């Protein structure tokens, strides 16, 4: 065999070797995550090198990202795109749970890859998607992985709630408080701004727009937002943490697969602890400020963003606890939405219960459909003894003055 024949033979051998990509995902938060990540890459390189029919194309890796969906796994999505372009012939990964913990994702992506002639080998599960019975075994194993993920999610949520009940704080530092190792401590620099906001609002009778403008003009920088606005001021005034109370589970994750958080409108029980930490403002000042908001007695300039959004805002009071009713949207069985009014205490605290200190929380008063509220208003108005001629004359004079300006 001459030199050219040997070169052609070697070229043919290279051509028949499969180009293999590897995928790994590290989802732990341990300190040795980087080492574990490097060890997985090293493992795949050595594994592929030991197979004479394979050559390494690339190792795709996502760090610290959950496997229950693929939305944020950029390397996973890049790997799928490369496979569809024909850049490699085979993907190897340790197990199904590293590839996906969602049954639908596992089936969808392996089917799609198979259409492009690309197989996936799950090494620990002994599954090669190019085999005839692979999809059945994959469906069973991925369902098990998904169920394990669900159980893990439930265990984590249960553990977090027990910690919350013990006073452990879940969340980030905020204006006036530093949060570290589950404990809240006052940050005096931010606390001064919080006290200033409450003083301006409750004692100086300034509106939220005015307060926001004055803070901007003073060059005071807010936390985690670009600039002060009336909604930022409202969030400060409404935040119970500033009077020493702690309310957790304001948001919850209804679907462990999507990981999307939703505001808790009573779907889950809140964890409420009064006098949990050192307050920045007194309870009296906090209640005074919130009473002003509840009574909707702000000036037009300082009105809350939602105070005049709906005709009944601030006008329906709960007969059980005295709280204002707030607007909420609900879904019908056919998928359409409708507006209803619900007791604020019921919406934020759930059904009636008591906290550890024996303080009553929540409300049982039912919600009212907006259509029913409008009809009740109609019936009440119709029953009133009104001076119809005087009202009509006033309305006509207003209409005529408007028309005269526009003509």
Write the CATH number for 301: 3.90.1750.20
Query: Looking at residue 256, what is its pLDDT?
Result: 61
Asked which of 31-35, 95-99, 248-252, 283-287 is least confident by mean pLDDT, the reply is: 31-35
Query: Looking at residue 307, what is its pLDDT?
Result: 47
Final residue before a domain boundary, out of 156, 186, 206: 156
Q: How confident is the model over 267-291, as a mean pLDDT?
A: 89
Percent above pLDDT 70 for the chain: 84
Contact 322, 339 (CB under 8 A): no
Q: How confident is the model over 335-348, as a mean pLDDT?
A: 86
CA 276 to mean position of chain CA atoms: 25
**In-domain check, residue 170:** yes
**In-domain check, residue 116:** yes
d(CA 136, CA 208): 61
Instruction: Using the predicted structure, report yes or no on whether residue 70 has a pLDDT greater than 90.
Output: no
Query: Looking at residue 14, what is its pLDDT?
Result: 47
Final residue before a domain boundary, out of 121, 156, 191: 156
> Per-residue confidence at 305, pLDDT binned at 50, 70, 90?
very low
Compare 262 and 16 and report the one with higher pLDDT.
262
Number of C-beta neighbours around residue 150 at 10 A: 14
Same domain, 313 and 298: no
> Per-residue confidence at 304, pLDDT binned at 50, 70, 90?
very low
Same domain, 294 and 317: no
**In-domain check, residue 391:** yes
Same domain, 332 and 348: yes
Same domain, 223 and 263: yes
Give the global pTM. 0.46
Same domain, 294 and 319: no
Query: Looking at residue 56, what is its pLDDT?
Result: 93
> Per-residue confidence at 28, pLDDT binned at 50, 70, 90?
low
Query: Looking at residue 179, what is its pLDDT?
Result: 92
Asked which of 27-41, 214-228, 248-262, 372-386 is least confident by mean pLDDT, the reply is: 27-41
Same domain, 210 and 324: no
Query: Looking at residue 348, what is its pLDDT?
Result: 83
Q: How confident is the model over 325-350, as a mean pLDDT?
A: 85
Instruction: Using the predicted structure, report yes or no on whether residue 191 has a pLDDT greater than 90.
Output: yes
d(CA 29, CA 280): 34
**In-domain check, residue 406:** no
**In-domain check, residue 9:** no
**In-domain check, residue 4:** no
Contact 176, 280 (CB under 8 A): yes
Q: Which range scores top for mean pLDDT: 7-16, 58-67, 148-157, 261-270?
A: 148-157
Same domain, 186 and 296: yes
Same domain, 140 and 240: no
List the one residue out of 313, 283, 318 whose CA is nearest residue 298. 313
The mean pLDDT of the chain is 81
CA 240 to mean position of chain CA atoms: 20
CA angle 115-118-120, nearest 5°? 115
Same domain, 301 and 314: no
Q: How confident is the model over 327-335, as a mean pLDDT?
A: 81
Q: How confident is the model over 329-345, as a mean pLDDT?
A: 84
Residue 132 DSSP class: T
**In-domain check, residue 151:** yes
Final residue before a domain boundary, out of 253, 288, 305: 305
How many domains, in total, are found in the chain?
3
Instruction: Using the predicted structure, report yes or no on whether residue 16 has a pLDDT greater than 80.
Output: no
Q: Which residues, other chains included, contact 135 with Cβ-Cβ below 8 Å and sequence gap of 6+?
A: 107, 110, 111, 129
Compare 274 and 268 and report the one with higher pLDDT.
274
Instruction: Using the predicted structure, report yes or no on whether residue 12 has a pLDDT greater than 50.
Output: no
Q: How confident is the model over 58-63, as a mean pLDDT?
A: 87
Instruction: Using the predicted structure, report yes or no on whether residue 15 has a pLDDT greater than 80.
Output: no
Residue 126, domain extent: 15-156
Query: Looking at residue 54, what is its pLDDT?
Result: 93
Same domain, 341 and 229: no
Query: Looking at residue 276, what is its pLDDT?
Result: 92
Same domain, 233 and 324: no
Percent above pLDDT 90 for the chain: 27
Query: Looking at residue 241, what is its pLDDT?
Result: 93
Write out pLDDT tens, residues 313-329: 778 888 888 888 888 88
Q: Which residues, other chains included, contact 134 with Cβ-Cβ below 8 Å and sequence gap of 6+?
A: 110, 127, 128
Instruction: Using the predicted structure, report yes or no on whether residue 32 has a pLDDT greater than 60.
Output: no
């Amino acid at each position: 065999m001459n030199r050219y024949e040997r070169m052609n033979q070697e070229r043919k051998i290279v051509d028949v070797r499969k180009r293999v990509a590897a995928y790994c995902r590290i989802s732990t938060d341990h300190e040795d995550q980087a080492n574990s990540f490097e060890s997985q890459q090293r493992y795949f390189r050595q594994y592929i090198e030991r197979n004479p029919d394979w050559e390494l194309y690339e190792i795709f890796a996502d760090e610290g990202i959950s496997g229950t969906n693929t939305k944020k796994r950029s390397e996973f999505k890049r790997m799928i795109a490369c496979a569809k372009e024909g850049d490699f012939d085979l993907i190897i990964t340790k197990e199904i749970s590293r590839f996906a913990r969602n049954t639908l994702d596992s089936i969808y992506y392996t089917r799609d890859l198979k259409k492009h002639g690309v197989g996936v080998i799950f090494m620990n599960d002994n599954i090669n998607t190019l085999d005839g019975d692979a999809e059945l075994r994959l469906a069973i194993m991925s369902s098990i992985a998904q169920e394990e993920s669900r159980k893990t999610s439930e265990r984590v949520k249960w553990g977090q709630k027990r910690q919350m009940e013990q006073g452990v704080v879940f969340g980030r530092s905020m204006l006036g408080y530093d949060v570290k190792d589950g404990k809240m401590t006052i940050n005096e620099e931010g606390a001064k701004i919080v006290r200033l906001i409450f003083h301006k609002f409750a004692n100086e009778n300034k509106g939220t727009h005015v307060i926001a403008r004055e803070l901007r003009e003073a060059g005071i920088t807010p936390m985690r937002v670009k600039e002060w606005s009336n909604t930022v001021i409202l969030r400060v005034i409404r935040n119970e943490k500033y009077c020493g109370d702690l309310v957790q589970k304001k948001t919850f994750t209804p679907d462990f697969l999507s990981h999307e958080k939703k505001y808790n409108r009573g779907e889950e029980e809140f964890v409420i602890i009064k006098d949990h930490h050192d307050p920045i403002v007194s309870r009296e000042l906090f209640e005074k400020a919130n009473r002003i908001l509840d009574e909707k007695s702000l000036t037009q300039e300082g009105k809350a963003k939602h105070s005049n959004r709906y005709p009944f805002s601030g006008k329906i009071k709960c007969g059980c606890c005295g709280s204002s009713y707030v607007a909420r949207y609900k879904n019908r069985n056919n998928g359409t939405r409708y507006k209803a009014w619900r007791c604020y205490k019921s919406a934020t605290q759930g059904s009636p219960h008591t906290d550890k200190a024996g303080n009553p929380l929540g409300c049982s008063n039912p919600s009212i459909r907006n259509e029913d509220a409008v009809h009740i208003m109609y019936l009440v108005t119709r029953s009133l003894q009104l001076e119809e001629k005087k009202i009509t004359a006033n309305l006509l004079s207003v209409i005529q003055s408007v028309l005269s300006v526009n003509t």
